[in-house]
Amino acid sequence: MPYIRVLVFMASTVLTAHSQEAAPAAVALTVSGGIGSQLELKTADLAKMPRQTVVIQEHDGTRAEYEGVPLLAILRKAGAPVDKQLRGKTLSGYLLAKAHDGYQVLFSLGEIAPEFGKTPMIVADLRAGKPLSGELGPLRLVCPNDKVGARSVRMLEALEIVRPRK
Quote the CA–CA distance of 8 and 134 in Å, as a whole number: 33
Global confidence as pTM? 0.80
Return the CATH number of the domain spanning residue range 25-162: 3.90.420.10
Contact at 8 Å (CB) between 63 and 57? yes
pLDDT in tens, the chain (166 residues): 454 443 334 444 444 444 444 444 576 899 998 777 789 999 899 999 999 999 998 888 889 999 999 999 999 999 888 877 777 777 778 999 999 999 999 998 888 887 787 778 999 999 999 999 888 889 999 999 888 878 899 999 999 998 877 6
Instruction: Specify the DSSP class assigned to residue 36.
Output: S
